[in-house]
Structure 1
Amino acid sequence: MAGHARFAVVAGPDEHGIGEELEALGATVSRIEGVVSADALRAAGIADADYLVLTDADEATGIPVAKELNPSVTVVTYADRSLPEFVAGVADLAVDPALVTPDVVAEELTRDGDGLDGA
């Protein structure tokens, strides 16, 4: 059973359905469809987000921007490709969709306690 509601910004194409899985567990999800810029992050509500779930490694430059706008946001990449070296250390967790299903990631993000914050 999911814990208290979380707020996640899902950035990038969501072909694996992580956003839907989060919503099914009671999380509020805001989406960024295009470039993950400061303006797009602000418009999506990054200042209040618990998580930024990035599904496109090509938009990795948005990670440090998100951390600047909300230092407490946990950044989870859920992408088939690895992050570029220059941002790999800024993301809190990288998950390969081929290894972990979106429902498992969503459950971890929405459960009581630390969730993936403690990872």
Structure 2
Amino acid sequence: MILLAGADDDGLGDALAALGADVVRVEGIATKQSLVDAGVGDARALVLTEMDDASAIPVAKELRPDLRVVTYSRDSLPEFARGQTDLAVDPALLEPDVVAEELLDSLAASD
């Protein structure tokens, strides 16, 4: 399962789902409770599409240390979250289908 937090205006969630991924959208602001409610304990990755939710990265890593974290946003990743983020991608550089394929390939390789 992949958790997706943020508006996802660029369609990464749809691209992941089109490739067969189980995508669960985090409702509202990504907080500890909303991550737990969305199933962070069973998730393999967290995708953030809005850097306003970047404070969720250390929270998610605390709840699930092996969680893969990907940001897909035109905004800069805050310094405090950079060390806990596995991949930061600007949608202007890579299309959502390319990012989706790479993320799913990397998750499959770690099985």
TM tier relative to shorter chain: over 0.9
Which consecutive residues of structure 1, in runs of 5 or more, have no partner in the other structure? 1-6, 115-119
Cα offset for 1:84? 1.0
- 2:91 aligned with 1:113, yes or no? no
Aligned counterpart, 1:64? 58
Q: How many residues are treated as equivalent by the alignment?
A: 108
Q: Give the counterpart of 2:89 among 95, 108, 114.
A: 95
Q: How far apart, CA to CA, are the structure 2 residues paired with 1:12 and 1:78?
A: 10
User: Could you list the runs of 4 or more consecutive aligned residues of structure 1 that deviate by over 3 angstroms after TM superposition?
Assistant: none
Distance in 1, Cα, partners of 2:77 & 2:65: 20
Alignment correspondent of 1:24 = 18
Deviation at 1:107, TM superposition (A): 0.5
Partner secondary structure for residue 24 of structure 2: strand
Cα distance in 2 between the residues matched to 1:39 and 1:33:
10
User: Is the contact made by 1:13 and 1:33 (CA closer than 8 Å) also made in structure 2?
Assistant: no
Q: 1:70 & 1:42 partners in 2: Cα distance?
A: 10
Q: CA deviation at 1:43?
A: 0.8
Partner of 1:40: 34
Question: Are 2:75 and 1:81 aligned?
Answer: yes
Calculate the TM-score normalised by the size of structure 1: 0.87
Q: CA deviation at 1:33?
A: 3.7
When normalised by structure 2's length, the TM-score is: 0.93
